Every structure is written in structure tokens, then in C-alpha cells.
Amino acid sequence: MTEGAITFSARILRKQPDLPRYIVVKPGHVEGRTKSFRAMVRLNGSPAFERNIRPWGKGSDVFFFNLTDPQCRKAGLDTGDLCTVCIDPVDPPE
């Protein structure tokens, strides 16, 4: 984890079973960012994996990132679970 890493609690969400799981990132966790950025992500201390953190759009100020089934399994998480998220940005703020 580097100096610019952000840690917070979040719930694993999924709109419907055939869509990917995702985590919502509140704007206070990504201050100064307005565009998508790459980051290394850890869930509950699991090994880090790369994700694109993207603006939700549609007039919202939140960001989000999708999770694959293997990423959730490795962290021992499922839809609806609360977890500790660590985002370590790879890309500098624009």
C-alpha cells in the first residue's frame, strides 16, 4: 500500500444475477478526480488486483468498479457483504 492509498468500508452490490458485482466509491474517497483511473484494489486484505475506477455518470458524483466472481471468491465475499476496500491509484489525478 502506498501513501496515496484510500481505505474505506463498502458493500458488494449487484443489480441482478447476470450482471457483475460492483462497489460504489463515494466522491470523498476520490477527491480531485473526474475521470476513470486505474488502481490496485484489495478487498479485506486479499491480494491486490487491477481495476478501472469509473465515474457512475448520469448526473451522479460517485465512482464504481466491477468485481469478477474469482476476485470475490479469493476475498471470501459475496453480494451484500460488507468489506474493507483499499484503492491504490496507479494513474495520477488529472
pLDDT in tens, 38-75: 999 999 999 999 999 999 998 899 999 999 999 999 99
Q: Using an 8 Å Cβ cutoff, are 65 and 53 in contact?
A: yes
Burial class of residue 40, CB neighbours in 10 A (0-12, 13-18, 19+): middle
Q: Where are the domains of the chain?
A: 6-76
Structure confidence by residue, pLDDT tens digits, 17-44: 999 999 999 999 998 899 999 999 999 9
Residue 1 has pLDDT above 60, yes or no: no
